[in-house]
Structure 1
Amino acid sequence: MRGAVVCAAVGMLLVAGCGGGEEPPAGPKLTVGIRFDQPGLGVRMSDGAFSGLDVDVAEYVAGRMGTDHRNITFVEARPADRETMLEQNKVDMVIATYSITDARKQRVDFAGPYFVAGQSLLVRKANADIDGPESLDNSDWRLCSVTGSTPAENVQQSYAKSVTLQQHGSYRECVDALLKGDIDAVTTDDVILAGYAAEQPDKLKVVGKTFSTERYGVGLRKGDARRPHVTTALREMVNDGSWERFVHESVGRSGYRIPARPEIVDSP
């Protein structure tokens, strides 16, 4: 995984690469908003390093724009905060399973999409009653999603009369509630749920077909002149084989079915 940098203290490397007096890398700095709690996509590990597909994408794009990966500062971007973080210049980019929607494009610009997913359901392994979105009709199931997320909006629009929706600040909180029996299912994009299911395959499973199309983009401030450069970098990532490698290394291990390579468009 590209998110963690390992330095070998051998010979001159001890002096030139790992010493306390190492000069900081030259080049522009970037602050990128990612998720800290999504296995395979954006995770802050116990040693403070970051891993996941969104981290790989961020480092690739930054590198193509002349920024050394050591000059990237990763900060947490929760769904409800992403537009505001860009508008208030708290981040340069948001790469955080950020679905491109018409409503969001009123406030921010996007480059991409760099991945296409679909909303699904995560349930306890023993649950045989919820087997897809059709199970939500005329039911009283308790669902959980994240405040400010597209999946939460989808449930409110399509299933508000048949399910009870709880909203938390993170999917980790939703998964914890599912394991405790406080809710019946977690709903968000299938690739996110696959990461949680892979962590505890004896307790959790993803069920049913997807019931939305979520196009993940790189979020930028409205009118940011760097958008064409980000678009070019994403195309290079797809065309040179890096995208396929990143996806297989990050989410392929969960058993998630890898989607087709995305088409990077000028105005997503």
Structure 2
Amino acid sequence: MVEVTTPAARPAGSVKRAAAAVLAAASVVAAAACGTADAAAGSLVGEEFLTIGVQTDQPGLGRQIPGAVSGRYDSYDGFDVTVAKELARNLGFPARKVSFSPVPSEKREEAIVSGEVDLVVGSYSITPERKTMVGFAGPYYVAHQDILVRKANPASIRNLHDLGGKRLCSVAGSQSFHRVRTEQSVSAVPVQAKGYTDCLNKLIAGELDAVSTDDLILAGLASMAAKTGDYMKLVNEPFSDERYGVGLEKDDVDGCEAVNEAITKMYQDDTVRLQLNRWFGPTGLELTTTVPQFEGCI
């Protein structure tokens, strides 16, 4: 097997698996030693290295640490990043064999299908549409879509229906605006943003009336804004269940089952409760610490 010295050196996607298949045909002994048979089968089980896609602009969930080197294991922090690290550990991957890859919301399916990443852990809600393209383990947490406004709330937004005619943030690849406009039939006015930190900046600047997305994301944004004296508040009128799943290759049943076992361990050893309190306890958000019902891997 070709020697690999760092996680970043792994070949990606179909190239990676094609290389493994060639090596397996050339040398049965080498294939057995390096686990290429499993890699050729398309499962993360048996891989030597693990690459995880994460968000970088969601304070409290997934954020690139200012000044840190992109892609390094210690370059990111937040609840989702901690979940990703614990999943990797429970799957048997030491830190030196795990790397992180920044994956924006609109690129998550592409990153999985292309093989750029093995897993995506980043406020990745399980939806029927996404399940046609990728597989999901979990969920590892169930969040709820809510609304964030400036504390003064000049637009007087107190519930979902008050968003009609109001300027609401829309992030490419996120389902949040779609839920308000299409699923809930509320005629909010879309204001495009690059990510949720950009949404917050626009809300502070008065370019938006509100931001609506998962309550964990909103709580992280509110905490971030408070540090600069820009106070926000959650409307506290949730209107959806957001089942945060771990994205992986669509037909990787073995990998999905292994990740579900790893998630279960995180609840059994109290990791989830401790990390939720660490990142969101000070916000006063009501947190759920019981194991969600898994989707199933077949």
TM-score by length of 1: 0.85
Task: Answer yes or no: is 1:107 the counterpart of 2:107.
Answer: no
Identity %: 38
What SS does the corresponding residue of 1:217 show, helix, strand or coil? Answer: strand
Deviation at 1:159, TM superposition (A): 5.4
Code of the aligned partner of 2:292: E
**What are the Cα deviations for residues 139-187 of structure 1, in whole angstroms up to 9, with x where unaligned?**
3200003111121220231456622012322011111111111111111
1:52-131 matched pairs, under 5 angstroms: 52-127=78-153, 129-131=156-158
1:180-199 matched pairs, under 5 angstroms: 180-199=205-224
8 A Cα contact 1:145 1:188, kept in partner: no
Aligned equivalents of 1:153 and 1:72: distance in 2?
34
Residue of structure 1 in register with 2:262 after alignment: 233
Cα 1:161/1:39, change in 2 over 3 Å? closer
Aligned equivalents of 2:295 and 2:206: distance in 1?
45
* Structure 1 counterpart of 2:65, from 45, 48, 54: 45
8 A Cα contact 2:181 2:187, kept in partner: no
Task: Answer yes or no: is 1:263 the counterpart of 2:292.
Answer: yes
Structure 2, gaps ≥5 residues long: 8-46, 69-74
**What are the Cα deviations for residues 110-143 of structure 1, in whole angstroms up to 9, with x where unaligned?**
111111111111111111501121312xx32000
Deviation at 1:95, TM superposition (A): 0.2
Deviation at 1:80, TM superposition (A): 0.9
Runs (4+) of structure 1 exceeding 6 A deviation are: none
Deviation at 1:56, TM superposition (A): 1.1
8 A Cα contact 2:180 2:186, kept in partner: no
* Structure 2 counterpart of 1:243, from 268, 272, 284: 272
Aligned equivalents of 2:170 and 2:57: distance in 1?
14
Residue of structure 2 in register with 1:5 after alignment: none
Aligned equivalents of 1:47 and 1:245: distance in 2?
27
What SS does the corresponding residue of 1:200 show, helix, strand or coil? Answer: helix
Code of the aligned partner of 1:74: F
Deviation at 1:199, TM superposition (A): 1.9
TM-score by length of 2: 0.76
Code of the aligned partner of 1:180: A
Deviation at 1:258, TM superposition (A): 1.1
Code of the aligned partner of 2:162: S
8 A Cα contact 2:138 2:263, kept in partner: yes
Aligned equivalents of 1:109 and 1:24: distance in 2?
27
Residue of structure 2 in register with 1:175 after alignment: 200
Structure 1, gaps ≥5 residues long: 1-22
Deviates further, 224-233 or 65-74: 65-74
1:13-28 matched pairs, under 5 angstroms: 28=48
Aligned length: 243
RMSD: 2.0
Name the one with the larger helix percent: 2
Aligned equivalents of 1:265 and 1:194: distance in 2?
25
Aligned equivalents of 1:264 and 1:62: distance in 2?
21
Cα 1:70/1:152, change in 2 over 3 Å? farther
Aligned equivalents of 1:161 and 1:131: distance in 2?
14
